[in-house]
Amino acid sequence: MADQAHTIHPVPEAFATGAHVDAARYAEMYQASIDDPDGFWGEQGKRLDWIKPYTKVQNTTFEFGKVDIRWYEDGVLNVAANCIDRHLATRAEQTAIIFEPDNPEDPAQHITYRELHEKVCRFANVLLAQGVMRGDRVVIYMPMIPEAAYAMLACARIGAIHSVVFAGFSPDALANRINDCGAKVVITADTAPRGGRKTALKSNADAALLHCSDKVRCLVVKHTGDQTTWIEGRDVDVKAQMASVAPDCPARPMNAEDPLFILYTSGSTGRPKGVVHSSGGYLVFAAMTHQYTFDYHDGDVFWCSADVGWVTGHSYIVYGPLANGATTLMFEGVPTYPDAGRFWAICDKHKVNQFYTAPTAIRALMGQGPEWVDKYDLSTLKLLGTVGEPINPEAWVWYDEHVGRGRCPIVDTWWQTETGGHMITPLPGAIPTKPGSATKPFFGVQPVILDPTDGHELTETATEGVLAIKDSWPGQMRTVWGDHERFQKTYFEQYKGYYFSGDGCRRDADGDYWITGRVDDVINVSGHRMGTAEVESALVAHAKVAEAAVVGYPHPVKGQGIYAYVTLMNGIDPSDSLKSELEGWVRTEIGPIAKPDLIQWAPGLPKTRSGKIMRRILRKIAENDYGALGDTSTLADPSVVDELIENRMNRG
Ligand code: ATP
Ligand code: MG
């Protein structure tokens, strides 16, 4: 493992030649972005069409108590017009969205920019007819279908603020979000097929709305045509309405700082926060990162496999790609339906050029064996990306060999709901990669590593601590919806003058950044600080281990002990001898200090709906303090937790 992580993968020469940014250009542009942010971002802002051009660029302060973030503050634009209308002159007949349905037997759809324009205008007129006005909140609870993108863009067109809630969430979680943002309208669909099974979205929305104001309207997209209950006067048939309203709708001029959307964080670390993003700065940053990180060129087919319910779907399925006039793919289903080759079948079928997914998906597919990927023609792929968690080197190398076939640079992109777009990532034509490292900062981003004990900046190149950002960037969140104080307290209080990411980080001698996991996930064993991610990485490098989660627990001698939850590969039986084998394995991979004190076999791990392990729950169980688990509303499968409590190893 150690060897894999230290192998440097140079930029393929052919790639660098055709890339937007090579090594020299990266260095030059990065320097310019730091030396003269106003000049740099003033220039980048021109990638959008402004109704009234901005005269000011950056006006931001991170001073605790006065935190205020504004970019392009006197500019006026419309986000939907930037994603659609301005492309009509040159690419009206180009495909904007490729829709691949859950069932591979159903036909894919190709929606051109001209069609997108009409659909979004009609959808916007339906919203207007329901009395939705500028600044009103609209909750979108939809499957991964084109109508989800139409709904988002329709809101943007009329200046309403959308809040997309992932369709896997329960009625309770949906109700909380509707109420937190005070939505006037909920947009949903009748039912949502996913992996061959259907989720009853409309009836979930019905259940949620029992806990909301009776003024909230429910707009229903009849997607499958399945029967649902219908409340006259409250429920609206979107497709029927779309057919009867006008096919055009003017794009409302909006201020750059008007909120575009609210998105609740995934809740890995606590109660979800309603992250607010702006119109102008957000779109500049989403478009720019999409173009450079993925080295997107005109005519490429771009596929981000995230759900639109996550920020990744916002920035890299909808806003970034469409602002760039790209062809973006939307997939309704799951990676393992009808079989574990589905992702690669889609890449083959639609001749995908850039593919972006999460380490959790790569690990799951890796566990199914390489034959599922090896049989497809993946020759159109030029670049691969990952996001969401640190990627363990084995998964990186598998992705590189089996999916990229050794030809495609891999961009490991570190960013957050809060950052709007990529913050630390290789630019594929410029920066050599190392499996597991997010490498270098994007333009305008100044990462710093702070000493967690006193907050001072660690300036040596090779160092380790907590990751913070020194100055603002246009895609930064502006506030927590309705709670600016929580915004300041969460991100600006602990380390004064910086944006605090909550993540731990190491910088190596080459200046490359390695995210080590959440700061809460750093443990101290006999005086040695270590990221739990490192131990997890060692465990999953073992051939019999499918997944692992590691947390600390109070230990009478060491301060903290290492508690590992281990999921074995399909068909492998747990045994005491396997436990000793794993202990020995970690000992040789990392060192005696990292040997787990307790190993619990875990048939499943508690994950958020976006596939992230909720370590705070595992920590409670490991501490034998499972009475108060905190907010578990975003868990994908709550039953996993009971099983783990029942078989916990620490009963002291
Ligand atoms: P919450 O803030 O509610 O706890 P969350 O942090 O899981 O939820 P997101 O904004 O979706 O919500 O995730 C951002 C986090 O994901 C980062 O802070 C980091 O911990 C992790 N992450 C994202 N990309 C990477 C990456 N490439 N490498 C390592 N970690 C990553
Ligand atoms: Mg977070």
Distance CA 178, CA 165 (A): 9
Q: What kind and span of H or E run contains 83?
A: helix 79-83
Q: How far is the CA of 609 from the centre of ligand 1 (A)?
A: 13
Determine the residue type at 183.
A
Q: Which residue's CA is the nearest one to ligand 1's atom 28?
A: 390
Strand partners, 237: 220
Q: Which residue's CA is the nearest one to ligand 1's atom 1?
A: 267
438 CB within 6 A, ligand 1: yes
Mutate to test the pocket of ligand 1, among 180, 360, 417, 491 (most ligand atoms within 8 A of CB): 417
- Beta carbons within 10 angstroms of residue 345's beta carbon: 17
Task: Collect contacts of 566-571 with beta carbons under 8 A, ≥24 apart.
Answer: 566/539, 566/599, 566/600, 566/601, 566/602, 567/601, 567/602, 567/603, 567/604, 567/605, 568/544, 568/601, 569/367, 569/543, 569/544, 569/545, 570/367, 570/546
Residue 248, token pair as written in the block: 């055009």
Consult the annotation and say whether 396 binds a ligand: no
Residue 603, token pair as written in the block: 């048939």
Q: How far is the CA of 494 from the centre of ligand 1 (A)?
A: 19
Determine the residue type at 327.
T
- Determine the atom of ligand 1 nearest the C-alpha atom of 438: 27
417 CB within 6 A, ligand 1: yes
- Determine the atom of ligand 1 nearest the C-alpha atom of 310: 11
Task: Assign 3 a pLDDT band (cuts: 50, 70, 90).
Answer: low
Sign of the alpha-carbon dihedral angle for 247, 252, 253, 257? negative
Higher-scoring residue by pLDDT: 7, 445: 445
Consult the annotation and say whether 315 binds a ligand: no
pLDDT in tens, 389-440: 889 898 999 999 999 999 999 999 999 999 999 999 999 999 999 999 999 9
Consult the annotation and say whether 526 binds a ligand: yes
Task: Assign 1 a pLDDT band (cuts: 50, 70, 90).
Answer: very low
* Lowest mean pLDDT segment, chosen from 237-246, 518-527, 561-570, 617-626: 518-527
Mean pLDDT, range 500-515, rounded to an integer:
96
Residue 79 to residues 85, 152, 239, 280, 320: CA-CA distances in angstroms? 10, 10, 23, 8, 11
Distance CA 27, CA 596 (A): 42
State the Cα angle at 459 between 457 and 463, rounded to 5°. 95
Q: How far is the CA of 177 from the centre of ligand 2 (A)?
A: 17
Helix (H, G, I), strand (E, B) or coil at 459: coil
* DSSP structure string for 174-189: HHHHHHHHT-SEEEEE
Q: Which residue's CA is the nearest one to ligand 1's atom 29?
A: 390
DSSP category for residue 521: G
Task: Assign 250 a pLDDT band (cuts: 50, 70, 90).
Answer: very high
pLDDT for 267 beyond 80: no
265 CB within 6 A, ligand 1: yes
Ligand number nearest CA of 272 is 1
Consult the annotation and say whether 390 binds a ligand: yes
272 CB within 6 A, ligand 1: yes
Strand partners, 562: 552
The answer to whether 330 and 116 are in contact (CB under 8 A) is no
State the Cα angle at 127 between 126 and 130, rounded to 5°. 90
CA atoms within 13 A of residue 253's CA, in its CB half-sphere:
7
pLDDT for 2 beyond 70: no
612 CB within 6 A, ligand 1: yes
Residue 2 to residues 435, 586, 590: CA-CA distances in angstroms? 10, 12, 8
Mean pLDDT, range 280-306, rounded to an integer:
98
Mean pLDDT, range 363-370, rounded to an integer:
88
